[in-house]
Amino acid sequence: MFSLSRRQLLISAAAPLAAHAGLAHAQSKDTTIIVGYPPGGSLDAMARVLAQRLAVLRGSTVIVDNKAGFSGNIGAQYVAKAPANGSVLLMTALTTYAINQKLMGATMGYDLLKDFQHVAIVGYLPNVLIVPASLPVNNLQDFVKAAKAKPGGFSIATTGVGSLEHIAGEMFKRATGTDLLAIPYKGSTPGVTDLIGGQIQAMFVNTSTAINNLKSGRIKALAIAGPNRVEALPGVPTLVEQGVKMGNDVVSIFGIAAPAATPAAVVNQLNADLNTVLREPEVSGRFSGLGVEVVTETSTYARNRITQEVGTWDKVIRETGITL
């Protein structure tokens, strides 16, 4: 009969404890959340809220580091090559990265599905169609009617060729039969500035940007480009409610990703910690104030959702014919 020596039994009994201790040590390390965009935007704001609460929950330091440039790809490239132990994470603008993957291909420097473990989806942020307060329209039907009366006479701002806002504008034009002149800007701020000044007649922006500018009374929000109304803008109906079906919702998906080789146990613990934080009323309230719908799902859900997102925008971009 096979038997173990006392020394072998001690080693055998200690092994699971050592493994658990090793995992706990890996998870208690200081953590850096990389944001591939400059400070001040919605993605950065969400990352800082999560970092603050994760630090309290985990009893360790969690910092946000902005590595901006190349449509968010510099930050993503950095994390793809980082140590795969949960110490370096990426706050992901998944929709933008999915669009980049179709338009940029290998020049992105990473593969969104192959080079990351998608730890969690943390929120959805719909786009909103806005117009200047000075434009004499009160709803979406008024705007479409006015635009059709002046083919090529109305302009729609974008945040650059191939941006989500640009694609949303092209989808809107196809769905409504309007001839809107797309004007690219370097970011939403200069576009909104010209829209407020009346040089631009329309623009798709994320809900957070819409909320901030609606307070001034200088813009009107005509429609939510997502599946549902937004809690922070309860009086603004969706496009579908108003009879406009673009085929796809225009919603930015945000998440947390880790390098591809990160162990499953570390990914699962990170997912659990994130979901704990996201359920805190303080965090969900802060996100809601930005117009973000909080998501608390598994890492498997995150992986499936981003796979779906890549396929969705691949199809939309092919249909619209947009190229860089």
Q: Enumerate residue ranges in the chain where pLDDT < 50.
A: 1-28
Question: Quick one: pLDDT at residue 20?
Answer: 38
Alpha carbons within 13 angstroms on the beta-carbon side of residue 255 total 30
Question: Quick one: pLDDT at residue 215?
Answer: 87
pTM for this model (two decimals): 0.85
Residue 37 DSSP label: S
Which of 237, 225, 257, 240 is closest to 125 using CA atoms? 225
Residue % of the chain over a pLDDT of 90: 81
Interval 139-180: pLDDT, tens: 999 999 999 999 999 999 998 889 999 999 999 999 999 999
Interval 109-144: pLDDT, tens: 999 999 999 999 999 999 999 999 999 999 999 999
Residue-wise burial string across 246-281, b where 16 or more C-beta atoms lie within 10 A, e elsewhere: beebbbbbbbbbbbeebeeebbebbbebbbebbeee
Question: Quick one: pLDDT at residue 122?
Answer: 97
Show the beta-strand stretches assigned E in the chain: 31-35, 62-66, 88-93, 116-132, 154-158, 180-184, 202-206, 219-224, 251-259, 293-294
The contacts found for 186-195 with CB under 8 angstroms, 24 or more apart, are 186/159, 186/160, 187/159, 188/159, 191/157, 191/158, 191/159, 192/130, 192/157, 192/219, 194/157, 195/130, 195/131, 195/132, 195/157, 195/219
Report how far residue 197's alpha carbon sits from residue 185's, in angstroms, rounded to the nearest whole number. 15
Contact indicator for 220, 130 with CB cutoff of 8 Å: yes
Question: Quick one: pLDDT at residue 322?
Answer: 87
Question: Quick one: pLDDT at residue 74?
Answer: 96
**DSSP string covering 1-32:** -----HHHHHHHHHHHHHHHHHHHHHHHS-EE
Angle between helices 299-320 and 264-278 (to 10 degrees): 80
Question: Quick one: pLDDT at residue 36?
Answer: 94
